[in-house]
Each structure stands twice: as C-alpha cells, then as structure tokens.
Structure 1
Amino acid sequence: MTQTDWPSKVTARVADALRARRKELGLSAQDVTDACAALGYPIPRTVIANLESGRRASVDLAEFLVLAEVLGVPPITMLFPLGTAPAIEMLPGREVSMWDAVAWVTGELWEAPESPAQTLLNMFREHGILVMVASRSRQMGEEKRREAALARDPEHRAKFLRMVAEFDRIHAQDIQALRDWRARMREQEVVPPALPDEFAYLESSESAQ
C-alpha cells in the first residue's frame, strides 16, 4: 500500500457513509444539498455526487461536519464505521481495532499518554457527567411530586413525599458537586461550558461572584 492510498480510503469511508445514510433517510443528493445550504454551508449537488461515485478524492473538514449534521449521525461514525469490520487503518500503515480508532478520536484510548489536552478533555467529560446526574435527580424529584399530588391514599402520599424529600436532598448534593467542579475549572483558568436551561441560574450566581 502506498502512502497516498490512505487518504483516499478515508474519503471513501465518508462517501460510503454518506450514500448509505442518505438512502436510509430517503433523501436525494439535491435534498442533502438543500439541507447543507439551510445550515449556512452550501455543498453543491455535484460535490455530493462526485463524493459518492469516487470521482472526488477528498472531503474538507467543514463539509464533513455539515454532512454529519444533515445526516443526523455522529461525525466519528462516518470516519470509523463501527460494526462493519474488526480493524481499520487509523493512520497510514497503522491498523488498530475499530473501537480503538474511535476511542483515539474521542480521547478515550487508555494507552494515550497524559497531556494537558487529555486532562482538559477529562475535565469537561466529568462536567458532563455531573450535569447529567443533577438533571436526573431533579427529574426523579419532580416525578415523585406528581405522584404525591395524584395519590388519594394518605399513606401513599406520605410515602411519595418522603421520596421527594430524599431526591431533593440528593439533588442539592448533585448541584453542589457541579458548582464545586465549575469553580475548580475556573481556578485552573478553564472556562466552563454553558449549562442547560434548567441550570442557567447557576451561571447567574457565578457571574455575581
């Protein structure tokens, strides 16, 4: 295999994913073009056709990202199609398991050496977990509140209210953990990510500090 074979294989994988997903969604090449334009980055129909036919040997990063959004797929799955082969040429002449290739891109490959970039990625990943946990405890508390409001039997209502109190306690702990983590990020001169609407009040309190 020559060194020039690898980039063409990368492009071919993107093209194959584009064709398969487009057909799965019942979209024409023009439909994809129109959707790209609606996102603010027009990709001519001829480009779509040439990619799928193999006449176009490359795809730029902007096209790749917009196409993934239009097709409704994670971009990584267009580069490394999980479930289609046990291994793949991740870099020229370097074949690894398909999952290791995905994990390399997402920063989850355990063999990867620790670096500032890896540390930063882990920090944001932990933030995402804390947001998810806090959101879940809030949802569970609200669910039990609804059940308590609908309960006719006093004993059942009391049981649900006890559960509400417990979930409220857990949620308060989850929120404090999220606050602490965001404070830690700022102490390291890292700008925390925007929070979902349900926790927007935390950003307001942070800006007041």
Structure 2
Amino acid sequence: MTQRGFDDEEDDVPEWADRIKANVAGEVRRRRKEMGWSAQDLADRCEQLGHPIPRNVIANMESGRRANLPLVDVMVLAAALETYPPCLIFPVGYVDRTQELPFQDLIPTWEALRRFTGEEEVALHDAGLVPDFERHASLVRTALAALEEEEQARFTAKTATSRAQREEAERKRSEYADQAISAKYNLRYLRRGIRDEGATPPDLPPALGDVDPPESEANTTSEERL
C-alpha cells in the first residue's frame, strides 16, 4: 500500500500540506462511499450538524482542487462520517507512511497518529492537564466500583445465613470501603492540584459528591491550607 498520489522523496513545505489534505480527502471519500453516501448526502449531514459544507466544496476537496482545508471542516466531516478528526488526518491502514511536519521524513502513519493524539509521549512536549484528567477518570471508575462492591457486600452480610458468611462479607465490605476512601482521597488531592493550576476539574457523579471539601475550605489558598 502506498501514499496516495505522492512520491516518497518529495517533502518540501507545499508538498507536506498537500499530503495532509490528500490524506483527509482520501479518507473522507472512502468513508463516504463505505456508508453508501453521495457527496450531497454528506453535505446534508454537515448542514444538520450546524456547519454547512456545500456539495461542490466536498467534491473539490476529494478531487484535490480545494486550496485550503479549515480545521472546523475536518471536525464536522469527521462527526458526519461517524469517525474521529485524527483518523481523517492520519488514516491508519489506508496510508502507509506520511509526514508529521514539513521537512520531516515519512514515517508510519500509525506512529504519526499516536503522537498527534498524545498517546505516545514526545520529549519536551507539554501534555497540559490531559494526564491529570485521565487519572481523574480512572480514580472515579475505581471509587464507583468500590462503592458498588461495598454496598453489595453490606447486603450479603445482612442476609447471610451463617456467622462465617457474615464475617466474610463484613471483611469484604471493609476492604471495599477502604478502597473507596483511598480513591476519594486521591481524587480530592488531584482536584485541588487542578484548581491550583487555575483550571476547573471535571464534574463528579452524584455518588462522589462528598469528594470536594466544604466551600469554605475550597476557597482557601494553598498557603492558608499549609
């Protein structure tokens, strides 16, 4: 499988931009046909999503006649085609090798996609608060699972028919309760750190409404807490 319409030796700035546009155009065309849509069908769906992209614009893009390709168009086209914007830019499996930036060598499209999405870390690149939000999501899942298991163990202990069953259920209930407390503590600490960065942490599900400290404590500064 080869890069569509380009010689692997060409890597100047215009060719890089054209290569990326060709990636998007080729994948839009492939997805559209896979869904059994005409260019007009795709244009209609984009309009339904609130960002019209006329049929002739889509046709010009797919044929390589469109001079530019705004990011907002890529976002809406991806939503219309029920895929993700990075998958249009770096069509893994349909384009073997591509460029991440001008003047760079061609690399496997899979590698380019992973760096584009931050899945593969790049030295000296700042991921912002993405790792914190990923850890937050993981802690929320852990806490909710522990609370559910704790409640189930509590019910088992209450309905146990023997002392041994009740004691085992109580042991498990205590273990899950400790897991929930630990996850909640780590969540509170993490959310405090996000706020200290001047950012807003993700919303919490109702079951974890006690994670955040009372309003008075939340409004104190780091120095005051120390």
Range of TM-score over shorter length: 0.7 to 0.9
> How far apart, in 2, do the equivalents of 1:118 and 1:51 lie?
32
| Offset of residue 198 of structure 1 | 4.3
Q: 1:197 to 1:85 in 2, by over 3 A?
A: same
What is the match of residue 118 of structure 2?
A: 107
> How far apart, in 2, do the equivalents of 1:157 and 1:39 lie?
56
Kindly indicate which of the two structures has a greater share of residues assigned to helix: 1
What secondary structure sits across from 2:100 in the alignment?
strand
Q: Does 1:184 align with 2:208?
A: no
Q: How many matched pairs?
A: 204
> Aligned AA for 1:73?
T
> How far apart, in 2, do the equivalents of 1:128 and 1:84 lie?
32
After TM superposition, list the pairs within 5 Å mapping 1:28-39 onto structure 2: 28-39=38-49
After TM superposition, list the pairs within 5 Å mapping 1:91-102 onto structure 2: 91-94=101-104, 95-102=106-113
Q: 1:121 to 1:197 in 2, by over 3 A?
A: closer
> How far apart, in 1, do the equivalents of 2:181 and 2:58 lie?
50
> How far apart, in 1, do the equivalents of 2:54 and 2:78 lie?
16
Q: Does 1:73 align with 2:83?
A: yes
> How far apart, in 1, do the equivalents of 2:206 and 2:161 lie?
31
What is the match of residue 127 of structure 1?
A: 136
Higher relative contact order (CA 8 A, sep 6+): 2
- 8 Å contact 1:195–1:203 — kept in the other structure? no
- Indicate the percent of aligned positions where both proteins have the same amino acid: 32
What is the match of residue 175 of structure 1?
A: 184
Q: Does 1:4 align with 2:14?
A: yes
| Offset of residue 205 of structure 1 | 5.5
What is the match of residue 203 of structure 2?
A: 195
TM-score of the pair, normalised by structure 2: 0.71
Q: RMSD of the TM alignment (CA)?
A: 3.4
Q: 1:49 to 1:181 in 2, by over 3 A?
A: same
What is the match of residue 50 of structure 2?
A: 40
| Offset of residue 183 of structure 1 | 0.7
> How far apart, in 2, do the equivalents of 1:135 and 1:122 lie?
20
> How far apart, in 2, do the equivalents of 1:100 and 1:49 lie?
29
- 8 Å contact 1:179–1:202 — kept in the other structure? no
What secondary structure sits across from 1:179 in the alignment?
helix
What secondary structure sits across from 1:90 in the alignment?
coil
> Aligned AA for 2:117?
T
Q: 1:167 to 1:74 in 2, by over 3 A?
A: farther
